Structure 1
Amino acid sequence: MKYPFAQYEADKITSKTGKKLSDITLEEVKRGNVSAEDIKISKETLSAQGQVAMEAGNPSMQKNFERAAELVDVPDEVILKMYDKLRPNRSTKMELVLMAKELLETYHAPHCAKLVLEAAEIYEKRGILLK
């Protein structure tokens, strides 16, 4: 795929609902043919962006896109809860471990779960966990 996708791949890139990027236009929005769900990014698009990052020599960015792709199917309220728990002095180590377990077992997000577990270890070393 050629980057930038919006310019070169609009007929191949799809939203979370499968709608082609080229079909998401202002006219279609005005007609009521584009919903909020139609403008959410797909796992495939995030993975493709990760591939572009890797090819550009940015493996850290590729990992970010990999985790983002995992979060596509995670409900917004769970993501917000995760971000809140990841703030310093907001969680116990056990709460972070349980969040990682939920990400892994319920949402099949192993890279995100690993990140939460790594945060728990670092927070413990820095003394920024609740007791």
Structure 2
Amino acid sequence: MMVRYPLGANEADSITSRTGKKLSEITLDEIKKGNIHPDDIKISKEMLSKQGEVARQNDNPAMAANFQRASELVDVPDDVILEMYNKLRPNRSTKLELVQMAQELLDKYGAVNCARLVMEAAEIYEKRGILL
């Protein structure tokens, strides 16, 4: 699938927010009329996937992987993401806590790539001695 960059200029009719509102429908006039709400401007999995496709097309697999993980986090509640951030800081978690967090990401949210990243972090933290 070829995606035209910049997405906002070239894909505005095909990009939707988390609520399904098209990017082309999110205008200053619509905001002034009260037709755009905060959830209407939250990014969607689709948008993050398209950004990842642009990265892949431009031979940037690391950036593509980041966008893939970000797309998985769209459905994860903010408090869970903040907890994950804190647990991933060095010397803040046990290996078991990180394994349990990875399992929750996988089982509850289907965040396969994020769970894999947490497991990789647990292994690296263990080797470096930066677990509780």
TM-score, scaled to structure 1: 0.96
Amino acid at match of 2:115: A
Q: Deviations over 1:76-126 (max 9, x none)?
A: 111111011101111111100000000000000010000000000001111
Structural mapping, 1:17-56, within 5 Å: 17-56=19-58
Separation (CA, whole Å) in 1 of partners of 2:33 and 2:82: 32
Q: Which of 112, 117, 124 does residue 126 from structure 2 map onto?
A: 124
Aligned-residue Cα RMSD (Å) equals 0.8
Q: Give yes or no for the alignment of 1:86 onto 2:95.
A: no
Per-residue deviation at 1:68?
Answer: 0.5
Q: Which runs of 4+ in 1 moved over 3 A?
A: none
Separation in 2 of the partners of 1:27 and 1:79?
33
The residue number in structure 1 matching 2:106 is 104
CA distance in 1, matches of 2:51, 2:83: 26
Q: Which amino acid aligns with 1:15?
A: S
Tell me the distance in 2 between the aligned counterparts of 1:92 and 1:59.
30
Gaps of 5+ in 2: none
The letter of the residue matching 1:30 is K
- If the length of structure 2 is used for normalisation, what is the TM-score? 0.96
Tell me the distance in 2 between the aligned counterparts of 1:61 and 1:69.
12
Q: Distance in 2 between matches of 1:29 and 1:122?
A: 46
> Structure 1: how far apart are the matches of 2:36 and 2:17?
11
Aligned residues: 130
